[in-house]
Amino acid sequence: VTGASFVVFNGALKTSSGFLAKSSIVEDGLMVQITPETMESLRQALRDKKDFKITCGKTDTGDIKEYVDICWVENEEKTNK
């Protein structure tokens, strides 16, 4: 689990790169590189207020261990006042 001040979703990852998606820590935030198709699915999930899971790693490996989960929650605690 990684806490971040911001998240950047970059929808320019090429399918030919060999990755499903890539995530990396940038300063105090998280950058997630995804394909244009995944970006469109993410946008639709955000519009519909649905949870969304991005699987990161190479396409040809079976042991994928990294995920980026976008989860909607009922309880909004006021942490930034």
pLDDT band, very low/low/confident/very high, at 30 (cuts 50, 70, 90): very high
Residue 7: per-residue pLDDT? 92
Chain length of the chain: 81
The residue with greater pLDDT, 15 or 50, is: 50
Q: Give the pLDDT mean for 19-42.
A: 93
**Which one is the CATH code of 6-70: 3.30.1360.220, 3.40.710.10, 3.40.50.300, 3.10.20.520?**
3.30.1360.220
Q: Which of 31-35, 64-68, 73-77 has the lowest mean pLDDT?
A: 73-77
pLDDT band, very low/low/confident/very high, at 8 (cuts 50, 70, 90): very high
Q: What are phi and psi of 3, to 5 degrees?
A: -90, 145
Kindly list the domain boundaries of the chain, sorted by start residue: 6-70
> Distance from CA of residue 76 to its chain's centroid?
21
- pTM score, whole prediction: 0.80
**Cα–Cα distance for residue pair 71/50, rounded to 1 Å:** 7
